[in-house]
Amino acid sequence: MILNKEKECMSREQIEALQSEKLVWQVKRMYENVELFRQRMDEANLKPEDIHGIEDLHKLPFSYKKDLRDYYPYGLFAVPMKDIVRLHASSGTTGKQIVVGYTKNDLKMWSECFARQLAAAGGTNNDFVQVCYGYGLFTGGLGAHDGAQYLGATVIPASTGNTQRQIQTMVDFGATILCCTPSYAMYLGEEIKKQDKVKDLKLKAAICGAEPWTEEMRKQIEETLNIKAYDVYGLSEIMGPGVSYECECQKGMHINEDNFIAEIIDPDTGKVLPYGQKGELVFTTLTKEGFPLIRYRTRDICSLNPEKCACGRTFIRMNKPTGRSDDMLIIRGVNVFPSQIEEVLLKYCNEGITTNYQILVDRVNNTDTLDVFVEMAPDLFADDMKAIEALQAKLESKLRSALGIGAKVTLVNPNSITRSEGKAKRVIDKRKLS
């Protein structure tokens, strides 16, 4: 179902005209109200009247996550604090947390954006949406919650934690759509299958985001829970979940272009790249009032597809990010993305391993080491050392082919790697801790 055909099915000309109008408006108000933006415009010898539309977007300065930390907490807001009705913040795992603010109009826009995702997944006002993203300062919980309410669905605000209660709630309340991280969806699937409760579920779809996941992981979720799993993209700096969303065709995520402009740039030079070419994703917020950003560098690596989708939507599609330029691991001079490792491992889940794994990077005698720990399935050859060694060797061979460097694979006992009800901790880089 298309929630808002008038917007989601606009012609390319209509989209670009709307974006140009909103960009001119946004640049002017940010120049007047955001000191850092005004300084960077002045340094580039630019004034608001120099920006006539999206054809001038490339002239505008970039913004960075460091800016949000340097001006913590409210230094980049574009409205008085009396107009801010909600605050959210990042987890702050890599430094000082970033704080974002929303006006009433911002929250309404965000709610509609996430509701479009729910509708694209077949959601209606007859559905029961169980939200297992964390509530609070993290944007996931309330973003999905408000989107479900906008759609008119019944919200089950389960939040994170207490997996057994989550499952019982899912069964008793008749949840039809699940919203959570893909790693938690996998974990829920494992537990539900173990308890033989799949037959008791009314689930038809899962909306998964907040962390990278592969097509193999999607297949595992869909097969385990007997549902269809959809990818949703978002980041706190730009809005939260719902910046882009996957339709029933599942050939990329439609960017809500009435609210955001997306670009792909060369991460080294900053040059804008053509459609179809892979590079760093950059966003400009067109309608956000409280915390707008111009040309924000997300560090996510992907490409854009402008072709009209078979679903009828005309919004440009972003392909699933293959990694981040700032979480890319450089191991013995080779660029390695965790998603590459996950993609290999998930192909062998039917051969004696589970979907739970952890990557450990270290440096021994001035040489980088790469270890991958993978849980064994509880019912498969746990005591058969020859079979274990053979599978380890097979996985090491496949990883070498995929990565271009060697990795040591160790199969470990079931449930020995800590599971998470939020974002999975997949990578430990000890080089950064020393």
Residue 377 has what pLDDT? 83
The tally of domains found in the chain comes to: 2
Residue 347 has what pLDDT? 85
Q: Are residues 106 and 138 part of one domain?
A: yes
Q: Are residues 5 and 150 part of one domain?
A: yes
**Residues 129-172: pLDDT tens digits?**
999 999 999 999 999 999 999 999 999 999 988 999 999 999 99
Pairing of strands 317-318, 253-255: antiparallel
Tokens of 204: 């038809």
Which domain does 367 fall in, by range?
329-432
Residue 332 has what pLDDT? 85
Q: Are residues 288 and 340 part of one domain?
A: no
Burial string for 398-415 (b: 16+ CB within 10 Å, else e) reads bbeeebeeebebebeeee
Residues in the chain predicted with pLDDT less than 70, given as ranges, are 91-95, 325-327, 379-383, 419-424, 432-434
- The pTM of this model reads 0.81
Here the contacts of 81-87 (C-beta below 8 Å, separation 24 or greater) are: 83/289, 83/290, 84/290, 86/142, 87/137
CATH number of the CATH domain containing 372: 3.30.300.30
Q: Are residues 102 and 198 part of one domain?
A: yes
Measuring CA to CA, which residue among 339, 301, 308 is closest to residue 218?
339
Domain boundary among 324, 350, 382: 324
**Residues 217-270: pLDDT tens digits?**
899 999 999 999 999 999 999 999 999 999 999 999 999 999 999 999 999 899
Residue 222 has what pLDDT? 97
Q: Are residues 253 and 116 part of one domain?
A: yes
Residue 422 has what pLDDT? 60
Q: Are residues 205 and 348 part of one domain?
A: no
Neighbours of 197 (CB within 10 A): 14
